[in-house]
Chains A and B, each alone.
Chain A
């Protein structure tokens, strides 16, 4: 049974600070990793994807992957109140049958305090 674990939070950070979100996964065969943002009552919105070890930066977001430790993280710099949402970590690998099924964690709720 593949598992993706996240601290459910809530994680509270002041506006302008760095928010650090963490995720671990159980399947060593996982190939691709994603961070989705989900506002309450809305659908998951893809914000970052990462496929190889190291850091990947996109604007205020940096994703970090360490496959040896089975660990993925997301850093949000200069956090804004609009970043307040639940952040979902997800992983996938190709099933060989035409599917890139995503396995999601429960999400970390982030609250950015003005």
Chain B
């Protein structure tokens, strides 16, 4: 069964460093998303990506965040100058023509 894959599963970084989280969405899907979940809190939308551009972003997705689909298969989230409060689980998701979104297994980001 097709699935969304994310790497790495766990990333530890020092405050102020840049991190890149990687995702391979399901191959025939059209819409791509990043969500995050701070420990004990709800899943929050960050950004959606369609037709090679950002289609919607939340207030959380400020200038320190960026997304890219560099090669037609990978979908990346870059966080510049990480802060302690960026520590969370980051989930990539993708959906096809239907609205059902399927999530990857997540990357646990720990900023120290």
Contacts and interface: CB of A to CB of B under 8 A. Distances in A.
- The contact size tier of chain A is 20 to 34
B75 interface: no
A43 B104 contact: yes
A80 interface: no
Contacts, number: 70
Contacts of A32: 99
B103 to A, nearest CB: 4
23 contacts: A32-B99, A43-B104, A43-B105, A46-B100, A49-B98, A49-B99, A88-B43, A90-B43, A95-B48, A95-B55, A98-B48, A98-B51, A99-B50, A100-B31, A100-B99, A100-B101, A101-B58, A102-B33, A102-B35, A102-B43, A104-B42, A104-B44, A106-B41
A36 B93 CA distance: 13
Contact of A104 (B43, B51, B105): B43
Interface of B: 31, 33, 35, 41-45, 48, 50-51, 55-56, 58, 89, 91, 93, 95, 98-106
Given A97-B56, A98-B50, A98-B51, A49 B100 contact: yes
A22 B99 CA distance: 21
Contacts of B31: 98-100
Q: 8 smallest A-B Cβ distances: which pairs?
A: A98-B50, A98-B55, A99-B48, A99-B56, A99-B55, A104-B43, A43-B103, A100-B99
B95 to A, nearest CB: 6
A97 B55 contact: yes
A62 interface: no
Interface in A91-114: 92, 94-95, 97-107
